[in-house]
Amino acid sequence: MQNVTAAVIVKNGKYLIAKRQAGGSLGEKWEFPGGKVEPGETPEQGLAREIKEEFGVDVNVGKFIGSACFKNGDKEYQLMAYFTGMTDEDITLTVHDEIRWIPIDMFDDFDFAQSDKAIIKILQNMPPSA
């Protein structure tokens, strides 16, 4: 099973979501940014590296939110989500077409990757102060 990570970045009550470029099984789906954990990395290290590669910014990986298992083709994955803070907001998109900052009540308005829907459910069931 491949471990993958997702950054849940919140600013002023809004969540950062990113739309993947066209192509592949997740093309044009919305997601919390992140990616694969490479051998020898902790999930937190992998998430920080992936955000640097995808957005060109450094992050501070914080509290673990939850995880979800999913299959893509014949591969199995475990998605681990973390609250994450950006140290810089000068984002350069490399694997996404666009980003948006949305309130939690707008998640249902976007076509998210199936794995991210499980993370959304966790977020929607958290107490507001979490």
Domains by residue range for the chain, with CATH: 2-124 (3.90.79.10)
Give the model confidence (pLDDT) of 100-126 as tens digits.
999 999 999 999 988 899 999 999 998
Query: For position 129, what pLDDT does the model report?
Result: 56
Contacts for 16 with CB less than 8 Å, ≥ 6 apart: 7, 9, 10, 32, 33, 99, 100, 101
Provide, rounded to the nearest whole percent, the portion of the chain with pLDDT above 90. 78
Answer yes or no: is pLDDT of 130 > 60: no
How far is the C-alpha of 129 from the C-alpha of 31, rounded, in Å? Answer: 23
Provide, rounded to the nearest whole percent, the portion of the chain with pLDDT above 70. 97
Q: What angle do CA 53, 55, 57 make, to 5 degrees?
A: 90
Confidence tier at 93 by pLDDT (50, 70, 90): very high
Give the residue with greater pLDDT, 90 vs 129.
Answer: 90
Answer yes or no: is pLDDT of 38 > 80: yes
Residue 50's CB is within 10 A of a number of other CB atoms, namely: 23
Give the model confidence (pLDDT) of 51-88 as tens digits.
999 999 999 999 999 999 988 778 899 999 999 999 88
Query: For position 128, what pLDDT does the model report?
Result: 65
What are 112's strand-pairing partners? Answer: 30
How far is the C-alpha of 41 from the C-alpha of 52, rounded, in Å? Answer: 15
Task: Check the CA dihedral 108-6-51-21 and report its sign.
Answer: negative
Q: Which residue blocks in the chain are alpha helix, DSSP H?
A: 43-55, 114-124
Answer yes or no: is pLDDT of 35 > 80: yes
